[in-house]
Amino acid sequence: MDYVRIAGTGLRASRIALGTWAIGGWMWGGTDEERSIATIRAAVAQGVNLIDTAPVYGFGASEEIVGRAVAAIGGREKLLLSTKCTLDWKDGRVFRNGSRERILREVEDSLRRLKTDWIDIYFIHWPDCRRGVAEAAKTLRGLYEAGTIRAIGVSNFTPDQMRVFAEESPLHLCQPPYNLFERGIENGVQGWCERSGMTLMTYGALCRGLLSGRMTMERTFSGDDLRQADPKFQAPRRARYLAAAARLSELARTRYGKSLAAFSVRWVLERGVPITIWGGRTPEQMAPLAEVFGWSMDLATLSAVDGILAEEVPETVGAEFMAPPTGLEA
Does position 204 interact with ligand NAP (CB under 6 A)? The reply is: yes
| The only residue of 66, 280, 312, 324 in contact with ligand NAP, by rule CB under 6 A | 280
| The only residue of 214, 237, 240, 253 in contact with ligand NAP, by rule CB under 6 A | 214
Does position 122 interact with ligand NAP (CB under 6 A)? The reply is: no
Contact pattern from residue 137 through residue 176 relative to ligand NAP, giving x for each residue in contact according to CB under 6 A and a dash for the rest: ------------------xx------------------x-
From 63-71, 88-96, 127-135, 275-283, span contacting ligand NAP (CB under 6 A): 275-283
Total number of residues that touch ligand NAP (CB under 6 A): 27
SS3 10: coil
Does position 25 interact with ligand NAP (CB under 6 A)? The reply is: no
- Dihedral (CA of 323, 136, 161, 54) sign: negative
> What per-residue string of b and e applies to 287-321 under the rule 16 or more CB within 10 Å gives b?
ebbebbbeeebeeebeebbeebbeebbeeeeebee
Closest CA to 113 of 157, 148, 68: 68
Orientation of helix 61-73 relative to helix 33-45, angle to 10°: 50
Give the CA distances from residue 262 to residues 206, 213, 253, in Å, rounded to whole numbers and listed in that order: 9, 10, 10
| The only residue of 11, 13, 15, 20 in contact with ligand NAP, by rule CB under 6 A | 20
Does position 212 interact with ligand NAP (CB under 6 A)? The reply is: yes
| The only residue of 208, 247, 266, 271 in contact with ligand NAP, by rule CB under 6 A | 208
- Name 230's Cβ contacts closer than 8 Å, sequence gap at least 6: 208, 321
Closest CA to 42 of 226, 285, 324: 285
Contact pattern from residue 39 through residue 78 relative to ligand NAP, giving x for each residue in contact according to CB under 6 A and a dash for the rest: -------------x--------------------------
In the complex, what is the shortest distance from the CB of residue 72 to ligand NAP, in angstroms, rounded to a whole number? 20
Measured from the CB atom, is 145 or 292 closer to ligand NAP? 292
Q: State how beta strands 3-5 and 12-14 pair.
A: antiparallel
Does position 249 interact with ligand NAP (CB under 6 A)? The reply is: no
Residue 241 annotated to the active site: no
**Amino acid at the residue 247:** R
| The only residue of 19, 58, 153, 274 in contact with ligand NAP, by rule CB under 6 A | 19
Question: How many Å apart are CA 42 and CA 262, to the nearest integer?
Answer: 16
> Mind giving me the DSSP string for 213-233?
S---SS----TT-GGGT-GGG
Positions in the binding site for ligand NAP (CB under 6 A): 19-22, 28, 52, 125, 155-156, 175, 203-209, 212, 214, 261, 277-281, 285, 288
Question: Any idea which residues carry the catalytic annotation?
Answer: 57
